[in-house]
A = this chain, B = another copy of it.
Amino acid sequence: MIKAAVLGATGYAGVELVRLLTNHSEVSLEILGSQSFAGQKISDVYQNFNHVLENECEELDLGKVSKCDVAFTALPHGASKTVIPSLLEQGVKVIDLSGDYRYDDVKVYEEWYGEKHSSPELLKESVYGLPELHREKIKNARLIGNPGCYTTCSILGAAPLLASGIAETKNIIVDAKSGVTGAGRGLALQTSFCECTENSKAYKVTNHRHTSEIEQELSNIAGEDIMISFTPHLIPQKRGILSTIYINLKKESSAEELTEIYKKFYKDEFFVRVKNTGELPETKHVAGSNFVDIGVCYDKRLGRAVVVSALDNIVKGAAGQAVQNMNIMFGLNEKTALSNAGFYL
């Protein structure tokens, strides 16, 4: 059994990790770290866990965590930076859900996060934990920078076109819509029920940090520096991200041809479901599961591809992907604890 710690277990990403790991046949969940709820049972904080998992949340004790095989760090941005180097030294593999270890280039991080990176040397070995693109590196990684929710959805949606060479690299636009769990469990007027319900809005237009993550990965795929427009929106649902991606093409194409490019690119990927021509993803199809659904359209008037991708932001966009990474790192079947169909209802 793999001994696992979840640090930050009572946030939304953290508790989703707990939900998934509780059903994982190869994992023993040793530590539920929570600053705010230390001393309380997880089943008191999230009462759906009664009769299922009644472990106590505890304050961070590095000595104790160092006896685990893997730590999932779902800590507030910055907090993980002090903890992670220490855990690595003790031989604990770390899957970090913050933005700290997602970057190839420390300068990009520092520009978009507006502060010095505390352990830039770790960026050299940390692996961007998107298995569909970096599976081989993940296998041997000690430290995973687990991708953000918007980024997973957008990168996987755009990757095949950029890899195929058919895409123009200018004028790529990603218009993304997210459910409210993406904002976390902290209290804020804008995530209160009466302010969210029946409301939609864009936010952080032109300057959301995830832009830089998407650009990094798409640039790597295309082999040239790419800059994109990325616009996040908040929509009144709990789970789900839908990205609508606009990409000009270098030559005439068709929906069938584009779909074929996607099907080929993802032919071995269980968690990516490419829609048949004429079908489109919906967030309901992926809610509660680790799947990404992608549909591709072609606008023949404009010579432009319009790609729609959907995932559950706290599963494939956070906790599920983290478990997928763990499965790969520990040589397990990648689908373990992740092969269910989600909720639909």
| Chain A residues near B (Cβ < 8 Å) | 12, 15-16, 19, 22-23, 46-53, 171, 173, 175, 177, 179-181, 185, 187-189, 191-203, 205-206, 227, 229, 231, 233, 235-240, 242, 244, 246, 248, 270-271, 273, 280-289, 291, 293, 297-302, 304, 306, 308, 310, 314, 339-345
Contact = CB atoms under 8 A, between A and B. Distances in A.
A310 B205 CA distance: 15
Query: Considering residues A48, A231, A308, A310, which has the most beta carbons from chain B within 10 angstroms of its beta carbon?
Result: A48
A206 B195 CA distance: 30
Contact of A201 (B180, B282, B314, B342): B282
Contacts of A298: 206
B201 A297 contact: no
Copies of this chain present: 4
A273 B53 CA distance: 13
A341 B19 contact: yes
A120 B173 CA distance: 38
A154 to B, nearest CB: 13
A237 B200 contact: yes
Contact of A48 (B194, B227, B341): B341
A187 B187 contact: yes
A220 B286 CA distance: 42
Given A304-B229, A314-B345, A344-B15, A177 B180 contact: no
A139 to B, nearest CB: 23
Given A51-B270, A193-B196, A288-B343, 7 more contacts: A46-B341, A48-B287, A48-B343, A49-B341, A200-B282, A201-B283, A239-B345
Given A51-B273, A236-B236, A46 B205 contact: no
